[in-house]
Amino acid sequence: MAQRGSPETVKRKELVGKLNEVCLRAFSAAAQSAKTRGNPYVELAHFVEALSRSDRSDFDILCQSAGVDGARLEGDLQRALDKLPHGAGAVEEFSDHIFHAIREAWTFGKMEREADQVRSAHILMAAMKVPVLEGLLLKISLEFDKIDPDSLEPQLDGLLEASVESTSAPSAAAEPAAKPQGKSALAQYAT
């Protein structure tokens, strides 16, 4: 039986609360993208596409370091989003795959990196280590096949020194997170 507060028992709202500022903005942007496109669900592709738009983020740096072709990835992401069902008047729900990715990222970040917040590197690395999530990423773009988490992991600290997520991490850990004004993306779009 899983212990209370362990990654297996954490509720969706708590998982979203573990995201750092970059990932939380991407989470909200993913919800907005789904709404704008008329998609009934916020899918992993929405979240990954939003993460990919964060310049100098962990995600951006790891993709560049692995030799991912940014233009090809962007095109693949747009094609994946275009294939999603559309015509919905409102977003009904967030895909379980997003929360699976966040849960795995939190576990990776906590166990391997001793991190209190989920960074986009944790999401990408963890997703590439979990077969179901890796398969979904590869369906979105074969460019993700260039990312080898086992070879990148020993280099993470050095690679991510210049990340905007590294510069915001100390202040985020030192000060309590500010409460967002209005409804959160999860509260606003999920029932």
Q: Quick one: which H or E segment has residue 92?
A: none
- Hey, which residues does 42 pair with through a beta bridge? 94
- What's the CA gap between 146 and 10, in Å, rounded? 31
Which residue has better confidence, 184 or 85?
85
List Cα–Cα distances, 154 to 86, 113, 119, 149, 160, in angstroms.
41, 11, 16, 9, 11
pLDDT averaged over every residue in the chain: 88
Q: How many CB atoms lie within 10 A of CB 90?
A: 10
CATH topology of domain 12-170: Double Clp-N motif (1.10.1780)
What is the band of 185 on the pLDDT scale with cuts at 50, 70, 90? low
- Exposed, middle or buried by CB within 10 Å (0-12, 13-18, 19+), for 160? buried
Q: What is the pTM of this model?
A: 0.83
Statement: residue 72 has pLDDT above 80: yes
